[in-house]
Structure 1
Amino acid sequence: MTHPLESNPEHLRRSLSNRHLQLIAIGGAIGTGLFMGSGKTISLAGPSILFVYLIIGVMLFFVMRAMGELLLSNLQYKSFIDFSTDLLGPWAGFFCGWTYWFCWIITAIADVIAIANYAQFWMPTLAPWIPAVLCVLLLLALNLTTVRLFGELEFWFALIKIIAICALIVVGFGMVAWAFHSPDGHVASLSNLWNDGGMFPMGVGGFFAGFQIAVFAFVGIELVGTTAAETADPERNLPKAINSIPVRIIIFYVLALVVIMSVTPWRQVLPGKSPFVELFVLAGIPAAASLINFVVLTSATSSANSGIFSTSRMLYGLAEEDHAPSTFKRLSKAAVPSRGLLFSCLCLLGGAMLVYVVPNLVTAFTLVTTLSAILFMFVWSLILCSYIAYRKKRPELHAVSSYKMPGGVLMCWMCMAFFAFVLVLLTLQADTRQALIASPVWFAILGIAYLVRRKRA
């Protein structure tokens, strides 16, 4: 039996298979934050960073479960814009959609700037804005063809990341098993995790400081929710993709960090360098720097690719709900929201020009990534609020749901309390505090835009 959306050329097509969805979900959960940010988080929190990633992972698993039950309660929901509009009101769809669009534009700008930096590893004389612009144009061209090609691209990008992390875990455990001696006399051993000040060597303060950067490493985990309208057999494939999130977090985050801190004592991990590169260099793999540079380059490209895909779908959803100009509703012959794609890529090109304009990108980077994490937490909270409203308004749908969220409404409140706690933690450091102070500006702009739109309507 074909789904009603499948036979209608006016709608997005269900072209993404289970294979694509699983890898999009994994790719979304493994960002540049893990490859590049883990050095800084280890230096801040020591081995307690393992608990930070586990806690954030558990909380976000419940957010994903709430989103999964909502999307499957009504297959006409194309993404979380639809159910937030339906359950909380038009304002929620407007704020959720535009904030999510802005989140991914910011994240993709950060990724494009990162790509420009990684490209300089091989071509140091090349002006950094050239690879940035070329990357945006390439991703635009690929995304304009078909949804299936996006799924295929994301599948291979994510596969490269997974192979790199699995290789790191195998090589690292091999070094621990052989009691590898590093040039400076350190022995690879699991005891390195606790024999230097215990699991919480930096105290509670260091443990809390780890949350700020670790949250950014998880942005994109909800990407599965934006692919709902283009997923074949969502009742089977969506739960599969969401249920595998905890296993992924344990394998890709926790095991990778256990290996890094077992081989290199955590005090030796440099915040400015990728611990992934350092471990392969220690293992005596000469091409390690080039290899990991390639992996991190594909990781950033994958994240930018996800950003371009999801922003165009958000604009399509917003236009369908009359929250954005109706031109974004138009689909190309390949059933791709091409105008939304072009608009998002124009905004990205503007961001790519930052490489040309701003000389010091590190300061801008911290501000941009923190702002992105704050806005993502707002979107995750709206998903939870929608779930609470759904339980009140549609108890009969919850009763017959085959994919109920564990913990229900109580767990939603616990997750939102956790996000509030993370916001409080952002006030502790000067650079993250600036982004927190800047974030209300975005909501003020949205509030004014929403009031103007309502008056016109």
Structure 2
Amino acid sequence: MDQDNKDTLQRNLSNRHIQLIAIGGCIGTGLFLGAGSTIHLAGPSIVLIYTIIGAIVFLVMRALGELLLSNLKYKSFVDFVSELLGPFAGFILGWSYWLCWVVIGIADLIAISGYTHMFFPHLPSWIPALACIVIFYLLNRLTVRLFGEMEFWFAIIKVIAICLLILIGIFFIGIAFKSPSGDVASLGNIFNNGDLFPNGYRGFLAGFQSATFAFIGVELVGTVAAESKDPFKNLPKAINNIPIRIIMFYVLAVMVIMAVIPWHSINPDKSPFIVLFLFAGLPAAAAIVYIVVMTSAASSTNSGIFSTSRMLYGLALLKKAPNIFTILSKSSVPINGLRFSCICLLSSVILLAIGNKNIMDSFILVSSVATIISLFTWFLILLSYIRYRKKYPKRHLESCFKMPGGILSCWVCIIFIAVAILTLTLQPSTRIALYLGCVWFIFISSSYLLIPKSVKTDWKALINKSLN
């Protein structure tokens, strides 16, 4: 067993790590894989959808930032939720967020295996998934700085890919490129002759689910804040840059895609980033984008392994998970949390060994479950902020990173979250995920009720001791 001389997480992530992790969190697998289904549902109004969600995400992250910087003993949002909303909320949030990243990791591993078939069609599907789990386990156990380096380069690859796509798309528009099917690249394709809502309000609202999933992971910067060298400098910078990243990586990217490919010609079951180059008759470029999509999925899996191990560590410190998860390696890595999360991810290997699964069907179902848990996470962050303003007015006055709009902005975001949850009832596949999400919350709430009252009393005392 790896033993440790240090008993806390180490602040070994530099500014460039935090900034690129934040960028990587803004460019999730949901953008590369899920944008096609969102465009299929919403048509040109996807631009409005990404803009609205981007504004909400920015406000939620500003609330998260102010809360984390108000007390550097907060190691993640589970800590301030536990203190401000109580042990019950912290218990449900911690385990739900852990589950969220596990199911995202499973979906990403299935996606990686599926795309690997393009290059190695005879390779058994479970081998790429198992290889990724082993590699990421070995790398994550070394040091948090190595995780930062991996995400730094993963993020750079994603940024370069999107920038190249935008530049190539603009070039196609400039020369009025005509595809083999006869469609001409034009800005007019974006606006669809003035019909921004071709599928009506139901299509517009239904597009919010897959679009919201694309932003899952942006809150990861809050999890890594506990291991940042200079959180007062790095965290505000990472959060304040979110709007420009959303405009560039989401709004501008999908506008370029729809300008080159008319929205109704986009296959919802394929990545529009890959389809764009196939549409232009450039299979070699499409093959490169396949690799980028796989890299994005690998990055998401890597982030999930990191996040879940830290979440289990935080829960164990508050006695909401077995004490074995508090053990740190010599490199200050929560080694048992890392092992347990990787073992759970092995279920993807079993699924792939049993038989081939449709990538997009699995992706949509899992992404919908993850979206529900992420919206729940954002909701508790906002409620915590409202409670923080009432409980610690002095901290808010002294804050150098106040949330714009304060409590009013919180309520606007909460209304959006309620509407977003309702949109999950519009499609059969997302409706199933909503039912599964309800089953999970019933299960985890029931588990809390089975915990002895004396243990819950100890939780409150421990929270007050460790965070105040």
**Normalising TM by the smaller chain, what interval?**
over 0.9
1:195/1:293 CA distance change after superposition, 3 Å? closer
Structure 2 residue aligned with 1:289:
286
- Quick one: distance in 2 between partners of 1:195 and 1:384? 37
1:100/1:195 CA distance change after superposition, 3 Å? closer
Q: Deviations over 1:331-353 (max 9, x none)?
A: 00001001000000000112331
Q: How many residues align?
A: 450
Does residue 371 of structure 2 align to residue 378 of structure 1? no
Q: Is the contact made by 1:41 and 1:49 (CA closer than 8 Å) also made in structure 2?
A: yes
Q: Is the contact made by 1:168 and 1:280 (CA closer than 8 Å) also made in structure 2?
A: no
SS of residue paired to 1:122: coil
Quote the offset at 1:388 in angstroms.
0.5
Structure 1 residue aligned with 2:330:
333
1:443/1:286 CA distance change after superposition, 3 Å? closer
- Quick one: distance in 1 between partners of 2:28 and 2:191? 27
Candidates 340, 343, 348, aligned match of 1:343 = 340
1:433/1:155 CA distance change after superposition, 3 Å? same
Q: Which moved more, 1:40-49 or 1:306-315?
A: 40-49
Quote the offset at 1:284 in angstroms.
5.0
SS of residue paired to 1:176: helix
Where do 1:282-321 residues align within 5 Å?
A: 282-321=279-318
Q: Deviations over 1:366-396 (max 9, x none)?
A: 2211111001111111110110100010001
Does residue 440 of structure 2 align to residue 442 of structure 1? yes
Candidates 80, 86, 89, aligned match of 1:89 = 86
Quote the offset at 1:359 in angstroms.
4.2
SS of residue paired to 2:8: coil
* Superposition TM-score, scaled by structure 1 size: 0.96
Between the aligned residues of both structures, percent identity stands at: 58
- Quick one: distance in 2 between partners of 1:14 and 1:416? 32
Tell me which amino acid in the other structure corresponds to 2:409.
M
Structure 1 residue aligned with 2:461:
none
- Quick one: distance in 1 between partners of 2:124 and 2:321? 36
Q: Is the contact made by 1:84 and 1:386 (CA closer than 8 Å) also made in structure 2?
A: yes
Q: Deviations over 1:124-166 (max 9, x none)?
A: 1111011111110110000000000000000001110100000
- Quick one: distance in 2 between partners of 1:205 and 1:312? 39
Any runs of at least 4 consecutive aligned residues in structure 1 with deviations exceeding 4 A, and if so which? none
Does residue 61 of structure 2 align to residue 73 of structure 1? no
Structure 1 residue aligned with 2:226:
229
Candidates 110, 122, 126, aligned match of 1:125 = 122
Tell me which amino acid in the other structure corresponds to 1:211.
F
- Quick one: distance in 2 between partners of 1:445 and 1:282? 46
* Superposition TM-score, scaled by structure 2 size: 0.94
Tell me which amino acid in the other structure corresponds to 2:390.
K
- Quick one: distance in 2 between partners of 1:284 and 1:266? 18
Does residue 386 of structure 2 align to residue 356 of structure 1? no
Quote the offset at 1:286 in angstroms.
4.2
Q: Is the contact made by 2:202 and 2:426 (CA closer than 8 Å) also made in structure 1?
A: no
Structure 1 residue aligned with 2:405:
407
Structure 1 residue aligned with 2:38:
41
- Quick one: distance in 2 between partners of 1:351 and 1:240? 36
- Quick one: distance in 1 between partners of 2:370 and 2:188? 36
Q: Is the contact made by 2:424 and 2:434 (CA closer than 8 Å) also made in structure 1?
A: yes
Structure 2 residue aligned with 1:429:
427
Structure 2 residue aligned with 1:5:
none
Q: Which moved more, 1:152-161 or 1:352-361?
A: 352-361
Tell me which amino acid in the other structure corresponds to 1:105.
V
